[in-house]
Amino acid sequence: MAAVQKDFKKSVVYQIYIKSFCDSNGDGIGDLPGITSKLDYLARLGVDYLWITPFFPSPQRDNGYDVSDYCAIDPVYGTMKDFDTLVAAAHERGIGIMLDMVLCHTSTEHEWFQRACAGDERYRRFYILRDGRGSMRADDPGEPLTNWQCAFGGSAWEWEPRLGKWYLHMHDPSQPDLDWTNPEVRAACADVVRFWRDRGVDGFRFDVVSLLSKPEVIEDVPGDGSACRGLVADGPHVHEYLQELVREAGIEGMVTVGEMASSTLEHCIRYSRPESNELSMTFNFHHLKVDYAGGNKWALTEPDIASLRDIFRTWQERMQEGGGWNALFWDNHDQPRAITRFGGRELVGERGGSWEHVGKMLAIMSFSMQGTPYIFQGDELGMTNAGYASIADFDDVESKNNYRILLEGGATEEEALHVVNERSRDNGRTPMQWTAGEHAGFTTGTPWLAVPDNHVRVNAQGEEGVPGSMLEFYRALVRLRHELPVLAEGRVRFLDAGVAAPQVIAFERTLGDVRTVTVCSFDDAPCCVRDLELAGMQCMVGNYDEAPAPAEDGSLELRPFEAAIFLR
C-alpha cells in the first residue's frame, strides 16, 4: 500500500510537467533530480501529492505521451536510482508521488508495435487494425475505414505497409491505440501499474482513460469526422475495464484521477463514485471551452461567463448528488494559461492590476468549490501565456498543425500566429520561472522551449516571503483548505448573484452550522451582487488588500475581477 495515503477530499495536488520544471544538468530539459531539488519549495507550499507527467522512454512526438517503454526512465530525465531518491525524499516530507499512465495508446516505437509490424500475431492483436474501404488486395490500402479525425488534425487512421492494415490513432499517427478488448492488453497494462506501485508510487493519473473502450460498431460520424471523440468516449466496456485494472494492479484505496476526453457527467459520476471502485476523481474540460467560438478551439471569442456558471453549477451539484468527485483545475500541460484567458493581462507581475486580481480570483474559486484542487506548476506564481513572436518558437505538434490549417483556410500569418499564441498547449509548457535571471533559473543551458520575457517580474524567488504576492496567496489557500472542513466536506449550492452582476459566479458551502459563500467576479468593471444572504458574514480571504464588506441589506459592491470567501 502507498507510503503516503491521505484523504484525497482534503488534499491538494501539484502537477509537474517534468520537461519544464527544473533542469539539474544544464541540457535544457527538466529532470527527476531537478524535482528533488525543489521538494522543500513544494513542502513550504503545503501540497499533498505531486503528479508528474510521463518521464518514460519516448520519441517525444507528443512530449512524452507517446511511450516506447512503460517500465523504464528516459535517460534525458534521469535514472531509476534518481526516481527512487525522489520518492524517498518526497515521502520524508509527507508528499505522495502520482504518476501519469498513458494506457490508451503506445508509441509506434514501442516493442509491442514493432513486433506487430514484424508479423507477430500475438502483438498484432494488441492494436486496432482494419482493412481500408475499397481495398481490392492485401497491398492495396484503399481509403481509411471511417471519416474519424484525430485530436491533432487529420485522419484517425494510418496505413502501415508492414501490417498490411490501417491502425487507429485517436491522437498523433505515432500513437496507435491499444485494443482493450484483448485480455492480454489489459493484463499487460495492469502489470505496468503494479510495477510502479511496487516502486513506491502513491497514486496515478490515467491519460484519456474514457477512450479505452471503442464502440462495437466502427462507422462514420456526421460532418467532417471531428465528432468521433464523442462516439469513442465512455465506450461499452470502459467501466469494467477500469474496475479490472484497479483490482488486478492492486491499487484499491490509492488516489487516482482520470482524464475524461469528451465524457459525460453521468459517466464521470460512475467513474468516481466510491461504490464503482474505479477512480477517486475525474478531470472534465467543459469549463475550458467557454471561449471556443462555435465549439472550435482555434476560433477565438470572449469567455462566456454565463455558460461557465451553468457548467460549474451542473457539474458541482450533480456530481455531489450522484456521489462523484471532481478534480478542480484551471491549467495543465494541455491548456493555455487561464490567468491570460480570463483577462489578467494588465500590470503582469505587479500589484493592483488585472493580472493579480484575476490570478487570485481563479485560485479562490478553485479552492472553495467541491472537489480536489490541482495547482499546475507556475499557477502559484501567476505565470502567463508565452506571447511568442514566431511560429518557429513553438514546439507543440497540435499548434503547428493548426497554424498550417489556419493558413490554408485563408488566415494571414499574423492572424494565425495570434490564434496559436492564445490557444497553444506550449503556453502551459514554458519553463518554470524560478528567478529573474537568465532562463528564469530553470537551466544553465539553453531551454528546450523559450522562457517568457515576463519572468523578470513573475518568479518564485521574487515572490517567496513577500506579503500579498501570488505565491504567498496560494500558500494561504492551501492552509485554508486543510484547516477549514467545510471547504473539503461541505455541501455545495450555486447562488444567483442578481441581474446587476451577470459576470459573477457565486456559491455556498455548508457543513453543520458553518456556511461559506464564495463570490467571484469575471467582470472588468464594478458591479453589485444581491440576495446572497451575506449580512453578518465576514470576509475570510479576498483578492484585494481591502476586504469587501456587505451592506446592511446584504448587498455587496464588487471591484473589477474581485473575489472573496465569506464565513459565518
Give the H/E segment covering residue 527. Answer: strand 527-529
The C-alpha atoms of residue 568 and residue 549 are separated, in whole angstroms, by 13
Angle between helices 413-423 and 397-408 (to 10 degrees): 150
**Beta partners for 49?**
13, 96
Rounded to the nearest 10°, the torsion over CA 462, 464, 470, 474 is 160
Q: Where are the alpha helices (DSSP H) in 456-565?
A: 460-463, 470-483, 485-489
- Tell me which of 207, 234, 244, 396 is the catalytic residue: 207
Nearest CA to 320 out of 387, 253, 252, 273 is that of: 273
The C-alpha atoms of residue 367 and residue 245 are separated, in whole angstroms, by 31
Nearest CA to 458 out of 481, 433, 483 is that of: 433
The C-alpha atoms of residue 249 and residue 235 are separated, in whole angstroms, by 21
Angle between helices 238-249 and 265-272 (to 10 degrees): 20
Helix (H), strand (E) counts: the chain: 17, 18
In 3-state terms, what secondary structure has residue 240? helix
The C-alpha atoms of residue 513 and residue 16 are separated, in whole angstroms, by 38
Q: Residue 140 catalytic?
A: no
Per residue, the 3-state secondary structure of 121-172, as one string, reads HHHHCCECEECCECCCCCCCCCECCCCCECCCCCECEEEECCCCEEEECCCC
- The number of beta carbons lying within 10 Å of the beta carbon of residue 202 is 24
With beta carbons less than 8 A apart as the criterion, state whether 127 and 133 touch.
no
Q: Residue 207 catalytic?
A: yes
The C-alpha atoms of residue 52 and residue 34 are separated, in whole angstroms, by 12
The C-alpha atoms of residue 8 and residue 31 are separated, in whole angstroms, by 27
Give the H/E segment covering residue 281. Answer: strand 281-283
Distances (CA, A) of 61 to 48, 64, 110, 174: 31, 7, 13, 7
- Tell me which of 158, 172, 259, 523 is the catalytic residue: 259
Q: Where are the alpha helices (DSSP H) in 409-514?
A: 413-423, 460-463, 470-483, 485-489
Q: Cα 335 to chain center, whole Å?
A: 7
Query: What is the maximum alpha-carbon separation in the chain?
Result: 81
Give the H/E segment covering residue 356. Answer: helix 354-368
The C-alpha atoms of residue 353 and residue 347 are separated, in whole angstroms, by 5
With beta carbons less than 8 A apart as the criterion, state whether 356 and 543 touch.
yes
With beta carbons less than 8 A apart as the criterion, state whether 272 and 243 touch.
no
Q: Which cell is 373 given?
A: 484542487
Query: Which residues are annotated as catalytic?
Result: 207, 259
